[in-house]
Amino acid sequence: MKKKILLFFLLPVLGLSQTKEESSKPETQPFNNKSRLFKDWSVSVGGGAAFMTNADLTSFYDGKINWGWNGYVSLDKQISHTFGLSLMYTRGQTNQKAYLNDAAGVGHGYTKFDQIALLGDINFSNLMRRVDNRSRFKWALHGYAGIGLTGYKTFLQDNNVLSKWPLYIEQKMDIGSFSYIGGVGLKYNISRLLDIELRALYLISGDEEFDGGGWSRNAAPGYNLINDTYSDNAWLFNLGLSFKLGKHQDHLRWVDPLQDAYTKAANLEEQFKDFKVCEKGDQDNDGVCDDWDRQLDTPAGARVDGAGVALDTDLDGVIDLNDKCVTVPGPIQNNGCPVEATPQVLPVKEIAIDEINKYFNGIEFELNKDVIRPKSYPDLDKAADIIKTLGGDSQFIVVGATDSRGSAQYNKKLSQARANAVLNYLINKGVSPNVLLAEGRGKEDLKYTECDPATKCPEWKNEANRRVYFVAK
């Protein structure tokens, strides 16, 4: 029920108002830098530890950890609130060991690497967030996956085989150095300008030489035979800062559009809880507020419809309150009951004019134009058939009128053009041009004279003033 009441009061705001016969159109604008609501660029920097894993030589040996390091910088673009892209440069070094055999003993080495990667960024927190969650959030879980180019230099030495001639391997960063990277991160929104993130990334080199163990499995010194894997991989753990660029208050990664829309609707509903219904009162006490009552002087005790108009079941012009024969039409003089007296016979011409004006009622034109809308053609065709039966002895006037909005000159011109349009249509349907004249009276011929200015009346009265009708000359 609350939602129905809210919708009812919103209708005038959403497009029922009209000025100079122009209904409001929805505003549209291109999406550019001026229209965007959120910032979506950021620069991130960070660093931490690096460990060679799933390789022949690893950073974990004999219960000890051989610590390495890594640092990164990235340019980040948020595409939507759930997905973004990052162009990331990473530099680091891993330190690793392995036991080959009794003759060689323990080998130790390091890998210095550089990587340029394009990462896809999925915001799982926004992706799985409930739309009815109105609270602001500061933590977000992110997932990363991407592809890059990795160049590296390795060093390997042991107690015997490589004691005097250490093994050096270098891989340039080129088309043959493809690698893969993926992982997870936990972001915290410190302020509108700064985020902090703890993340773990897994670097898949796709290269058995990445740990420094040698060029092949068949050649000395044989370190590549320790592990069956053909891809040496590393873990990168780091802590970083993200500097959000742009003038807007919020960054897109921290915005949920559905949640934002839900919150605004809920706030609007809260505002309308204190909305005053029937602020203008109910002058005639018919149960319909004057704000939308189309009959402000309904007699006391009369039943009314939703618009506040007294019911007349048999449509005889006598409201049900005063009608002694509610279901049978009759004249006012007989309290709405039929009489056997000979009904008044109106001249044929007057009857025809009344009938024509029934079809003229509600003729619609294009906004601020004299072009008749096609939906009005059937009514005008019927009016043309009636006019052709009147003969050519008399002349008739097609009168155009407007409401009180706009200047007198503008309304005069528009009403004349619309009257001419109706006249020309009737002539094209076979009506003799000798019996018709067109006259534009603008806003000087108001059906409801109290509607000057137009703001004094409800819109249905102003619509009734914008009309074309038929009279005898």
CB 192 within 8 A of CB 143: no
Between the ranges 213-217, 245-249, 389-393, 459-463, where is the mean pLDDT highest? 245-249
Q: Residue 179 above 80 pLDDT?
A: yes
| Alpha carbons 85 and 192: distance in angstroms, whole number | 20
Dist. CA 253–CA 40, nearest whole Å: 8
Measured N-to-C along each axis, helices 257-271 and 2-11 cross at an angle, to the nearest 10 degrees, of 90
Residue 186: the pLDDT is 96
Amino acid letter, residue 281: G
Q: In the chain, what percentage of residues exceed pLDDT 70?
A: 86
Residue 100's pLDDT band (boundaries 50, 70, 90)? confident
What pLDDT, on a 0 to 100 scale, did the predictor assign at position 317?
78
Distance CA 276, CA 293 (A): 16
Query: Mean pLDDT over residues 379-387, rounded?
Result: 81
Please answer whether residues 103 and 163 qualify as being in contact, where contact means their C-beta atoms are separated by less than 8 angstroms.
Answer: no
Using one digit for the tens of pLDDT, what is the confidence trace for 321-357?
788 787 888 888 787 788 865 544 445 677 777 777 7
String of b and e for 21-40 (b: at least 16 CB within 10 Å)? beeeeeeeeeeeeeeeebbb
Other C-beta atoms closer than 10 Å to the C-beta of 18 total 17
Helix (H, G, I), strand (E, B) or coil at 179: strand
Distance CA(315)–CA(372), nearest Å, equals 31
Measured in degrees and rounded to the nearest 5, phi and psi for residue 410 equal -65, -45
Distance CA 48, CA 45 (A): 11
List, for residues 236-279, the tens digit of each pLDDT value: 999 999 999 988 888 888 887 776 677 677 677 666 666 666 77
Domain boundaries along the sequence of the chain: 41-256, 345-472
pLDDT band at 8 (very low <50, low <70, confident <90, very high): very low
> Which top CATH class is 345-472?
alpha beta
Which DSSP letter does residue 252 get? G
Q: How far is 74 from 99, CA to CA, in rounded Å?
A: 37
Report the alpha-carbon distance of residue 366 to residue 383 in Å, rounded: 20
Distance from chain centroid for Cα 174? 45
Strand 396-401 vs strand 60-61: parallel, antiparallel, or unpaired?
A: unpaired
CB 439 within 8 A of CB 399: yes
Query: Would you place residue 286 in the very low, low, confident or very high pLDDT band (cuts 50, 70, 90)?
Result: confident
Q: What is the pLDDT of residues 292-305, one digit of tens each?
A: 788 888 888 888 88
Mean pLDDT, the chain, rounded, equals 82
Q: Which residues pair with 470 in a beta bridge?
A: 398
41-256 matches 345-472 in fold: no
**pTM (two decimals):** 0.53
Q: List the beta bridge partners of residue 108.
A: 97, 157
For residue 453, whether the previous peptide bond is cis, meaning omega lies within 30 degrees of 0, is yes
Q: How many CA atoms lie within 13 A of 160 on its CB side?
A: 11
Q: Domain spanning 41-256: which CATH class is it, in words?
A: mainly beta
Give the span between the Cα atoms of 240 and 261, in whole angstroms.
32
185, 203, 223: which is closest to 98 by C-alpha?
223
Distance, in Å, from the CA atom of 306 to the CA atom of 287, rounded to the nearest integer, reads 9
Cα distance between residue 338 and residue 296, in whole Å? 29
Q: Looking at the predicted structure, is the pLDDT value of residue 23 above 60?
A: no
Q: What are the phi and psi torsion angles at 223 (to 5°)?
A: -65, -30
CB 406 within 8 A of CB 20: yes
CA distance linking residue 198 with residue 359, whole number of Å: 76
